[in-house]
Amino acid sequence: THRKRSSFEASHGKNNFSLGDRDETGAVEILVEGDAMGSNYKVRDREICLVSRVMGRMAFVINTHKSLDTGEGFAATHYNAIFRNPQTNEVIRELEFEDSYEKIGSYYIMTHQVVNSTEKGQVTTTEFNYSNIKLLEPAVV
């Protein structure tokens, strides 16, 4: 659930976790107490499928709909993010992502992404293609 690597203890060691309700898809809510960002999660099978946070004047929920099981973890391939005003609950922006990965060496690298953004009724689609990807060779010292 983080874009930077840190240990669970460093990120969440002071928080208390409890199980919430199971939804109609079988996902179980994980409630977090003591987190300054008001985080909640849902876990389905062995995978985090929802992250909900409040960060200042912005609240967001990320829902993972499909993912790639790499054998060592999961990479989301279809997910959306909904941004709201935490005081009014008004939707500010919605993003929907479709990501494709290619295994290069021992790594799964994103090679294609389509982002559909909806803001104030306006829909914008942005597509990213990454090609000619090569792993860097280790430097000889």
What is the pLDDT tens value at each position of the chain, 141 positions in all?
A: 455 667 767 766 678 888 999 999 999 999 988 766 678 999 999 899 999 999 888 999 999 999 999 999 999 999 999 999 999 999 999 999 999 999 999 999 999 999 999 999 999 999 999 999 999 988 888
With respect to residue 136, please indicate whether it lies within any of the assigned structural domains.
Answer: no
Judgement on whether residues 20 and 83 belong to the same structural domain of the protein: no
71: left (phi over 0), alpha (psi -120 to 50) or beta: left
User: Considering the entire predicted model, what is its pTM?
Assistant: 0.83
**Domain that includes residue 25, residue range:** 1-48
Would you state the pLDDT for residue 111?
Answer: 98
Closest CA to 101 of 114, 88, 93, 110: 110
Cα(72)–Cα(100) distance, integer angstroms: 17
Cα(87)–Cα(83) distance, integer angstroms: 12
Would you state the pLDDT for residue 141?
Answer: 84
Q: Pairing relation of β-strands 47-55 and 40-44?
A: antiparallel
Closest CA to 19 of 2, 38, 33, 6: 33
With respect to residue 141, please indicate whether it lies within any of the assigned structural domains.
Answer: no
Would you state the pLDDT for residue 131?
Answer: 95
Judgement on whether residues 65 and 44 belong to the same structural domain of the protein: no
Would you state the pLDDT for residue 16?
Answer: 86
Using CA atoms, how far residue 65 sits from 52, 78, 81, 107, 110, in Å, is: 15, 5, 11, 22, 17
Would you state the pLDDT for residue 55?
Answer: 87
Judgement on whether residues 23 and 88 belong to the same structural domain of the protein: no
